[in-house]
Amino acid sequence: MPKEVVVIGLLALAGFLAGGVYSTWKTAKFMAIILSVLLLLAVGGAVLWLV
């Protein structure tokens, strides 16, 4: 599997998680914080996979 496919998948997951953070921020701040941590892990994983 080319590494670009994995990076695109991780960035797509990060976008999905960013939408979750945006939609849950007003009602469930704790869940939004958990989603933002997962978002940062997905973006960090994509960057590290490219390096």
Over residues 20-44, the mean pLDDT reads 96
Torsion of CA 21, 22, 27, 28, to 10 degrees: 10
C-alpha 22/C-alpha 3 separation (Å) is 29
Over residues 2-9, the mean pLDDT reads 89
Mean pLDDT of the chain: 94
C-alpha 50/C-alpha 31 separation (Å) is 29
